Amino acid sequence: MNKKLLLYGLAFGSASAAVSFIYLSTAAYKQSTVLHFILIFSEAIIIPSFGIYLFYKSMKTTHLNQFTIGRAIFLGFFLSIIMSSAVSLVFSYILQFQPELIASLIDFKTEMYKSQALKYKRSASDLKGALEKLNYSYSSKGQFISLLFFGASRGLFIGAIIAYVMKAKVVKN
C-alpha cells in the first residue's frame, strides 16, 4: 500500500509539476484568461482528482475489505501532500537553477499590481504591502507552505467526495 501511495503521488505530482512549469515559463505572460484558468485548474484540481480516483480504484480492487471511508480519506490526504511536495520540489528547482523565470513572473505581477493600483487609486502603502507579500509568496519557503496547506485541504475535500461516490464502507461500532 505504501509503495502504491508513493507511486501514484509521485506520478500525478510530476504531472501537476509539469503543468505548473508550463504555466510559469510561458502561459503566465499571455493575456488569455481561458489559458490561465485551464492550466491553474488542471494543476490544482483535475490532475490530483484523477490521481486520487485512480488510487482509490486500485485500492478498492486489491483491498476491498480495507476500503473504508476513513482510511480512504486519510490516504487521499497523504496522496495529495505527496503531489504538492513534488510541485514544490519543481518550484525549488526553478528557483535555484532558473531564477530569471521567477524574477520575470514577479516583475509581471508587480506591473499588474501597479496598473490596478492606479486604476483603483490605491495608496502607496497598500501597493508596498501587496508587493512584499508577492515577493514572499514566490520564495521557496512561501511556496512550500502554501502548496502543502493547499494540498492537504484539497486531499481531504476531494478524497472525501470521491470515497463517498465510490461507496467506501462506513464502519459502525
Would you kindly state where each structural domain of the chain is located, as residue ranges? 2-165
> Contact at 8 Å (CB) between 84 and 147?
yes
Global pTM exceeds 0.85? no
Give the pLDDT confidence score for residue 142 in this predicted structure.
80
Average pLDDT, the chain: 84
**pLDDT tens for residues 6-33?**
999 999 999 999 998 888 787 667 777 7
Q: What would the mean pLDDT of 140-155 be, rounded to a whole number?
A: 86
Query: 56: which 3 cell numbers?
Result: 482509490
Q: How confident is the model at residue 122 (pLDDT cuts 50, 70, 90)?
A: low
Query: 41: which 3 cell numbers?
Result: 485548474
**pLDDT tens for residues 75-121?**
999 999 999 999 988 888 888 888 888 777 777 777 776 776 666 66
Q: How confident is the model at residue 127 (pLDDT cuts 50, 70, 90)?
A: low
**pLDDT tens for residues 45-65?**
999 999 999 999 999 999 888
Three-state DSSP class for 122?
A: coil
Q: What would the mean pLDDT of 33-46 be, rounded to a whole number?
A: 85
Burial of 146 (0-12, 13-18, 19+ CB in 10 A): middle
